[in-house]
Amino acid sequence: MRLFVALRVPDAARKHLEEFLEPRLDAFPVRWTPPEHWHLTLAFVADAPERTLDALSENLRSAVGRHRALPTRLAGAGAFPDPFAARVLWLAPELDDGERHELLRLATACRTAAATAGIAVDGARFVPHLTLARTPRPTPAHRWLQVMETYSGPAWTATEVELVASHLGEARRNARRHEVLERFPLGPSAG
C-alpha cells in the first residue's frame, strides 16, 4: 500500500487558497494538485505491506497523542528541487521557531511509528510543504514564486493527523485517489 501521514488543510483555508489561485491558474501551465488533496505530509511510505497497518495505527495513535495541536497558516512558496529547474511547486506553513520545532518532532514521531511497525519510510529530509503543482519537465519558477510569495492564508490550528492511502490511477484522468484510513487527535495546544 502507498501511504502517507499528514495534516489536512481545513475547508476555510482551502477555499481561501482556491480563490487566490483561480484567476492565476492559466498563467502557469502546470499540473495543479486538486484542492481536496492538499495536505502537509509528515511521513511517506511508498510500499507498506497491508499486514503492518494495525501496528502502524497503534504506533501513530500513541505517538501523535504526545504532540500538541499546532497553530499555522500557509504563507511562503518554494520549488523542488530548486527554482531554476522546478518539478514541484509548493506553499509552506508559516510557523514560529517553537511551532516549527514541534512540527519537526511530530514528523519524526510519525516516521518512527512507521519504521517501528516494520515499514520502510521515505528518508528524505523533512521540508514542511503543501504541493500545489507539478511540472512535466524542469521549469524556471521565479515568476510563480514572486506571485505566491504575496499569499498569506487564514490561520488555523491542526488538531489531528490523518493516515491516508494513495491509490494511483484510480481517479478521473488516471489521477490519484486518496482514502483516509484513520485520524489521530493531537494533544491540547499549549496556551
For 99-109, the pLDDT digits (tens) are 999 999 999 99
Active site residue 129: yes
Catalytic residue among 16, 39, 67, 178: 39
Position 37 confidence tier, pLDDT thresholds 50, 70, 90: very high
Q: What domains does the chain contain, in order, with CATH numbers?
A: 3-185 (3.90.1140.10)
Mean pLDDT over the full length of the chain: 92
Position 170 confidence tier, pLDDT thresholds 50, 70, 90: low
Active site residue 39: yes
pLDDT of residue 60: 97
pLDDT of residue 190: 47
Strand extents, DSSP E, 37-191:
39-45, 70-72, 74-80, 86-93, 130-139, 156-158, 160-167, 177-185
